[in-house]
Amino acid sequence: RGELTPRLWIALGEAYGTLNQPIFAEQAFLQAVRTAPRGSTEMLEGYYGLLTTLAANPTQRERQIMACVEALEIYPLDAQLLCAMGGYLQAQGRLDLAERSFRTAVQYGQVDLETWHLVEIAEVAAACLGMTLRLQGKEDEARGVLEEALDRARGSLRIRRQLLDLNIRQGREDHAIRLAGQLYANADDAVAIADAVRGACKAAKQDWVPALALLQSAYRAGCRDPLCLRWLSV
């Protein structure tokens, strides 16, 4: 085994992961990291595999963070590593540091085109940054981040839905209606969804009586979109 190349260590780690043997998978990915040239695609893949393996065990969160810090020292602008770190920090309640990590991913994040990566990683980073800002009460800044992201990726349903939800929570009814019209343009129940959005905006402002009437109207018209159901339950 000592003669295995980094690429073969990665393949072995993936095989152990498929066989649900995380201890052996972790050891294989560690060997890939140790034997690969510093800064190479193989080393990056080794870190990806290691982080994925450690994620399967909640008790390994600290080791996961340390491994991600180690990887970021070598790949400081890797978008996937930055998003992973942001997620770890957010889970620990370190929203300020999570914001910094996600913001770096949005502004400067890079991907290694020679290895596996999420095609939507830029959208994911923007959505995560928006959510982190919202959790800190920075809703206007979050809206700005999401609007800029939507300008770059007009077809992103993830960003559009999050922006719609944020406009509803802020009671920005006209903006929410316009976003819903774009998001549900081809829906059979587009009219009912518009009522649901209006009702949700009123509910967000605790204007309960008209909110309930609009949401119930949408529901009776057959709208079962999560937006309608969530705000009707509220």
DSSP 136-180: TT-HHHHHHHHHHHHHH-TT-HHHHHHHHHHHHHTT-HHHHHHHH
pTM for the model: 0.88
Of the candidates 37, 67, 74, 72, which has an alpha carbon nearest to the alpha carbon of residue 49? 67
Place of tokens 């991913």: 105
pLDDT of residue 106: 97
DSSP category for residue 59: G
pLDDT of residue 155: 84
Whole-number Å distance between alpha carbons of 35 and 4: 9
pLDDT of residue 66: 95
Taking the alpha carbons at both ends of the chain, their separation in whole angstroms is 58
pLDDT of residue 89: 95
Amino acid in the structure at residue 213 = A
Q: Residues of the chain whose pLDDT is less than 70?
A: 1-2
pLDDT of residue 188: 76
pLDDT of residue 185: 76
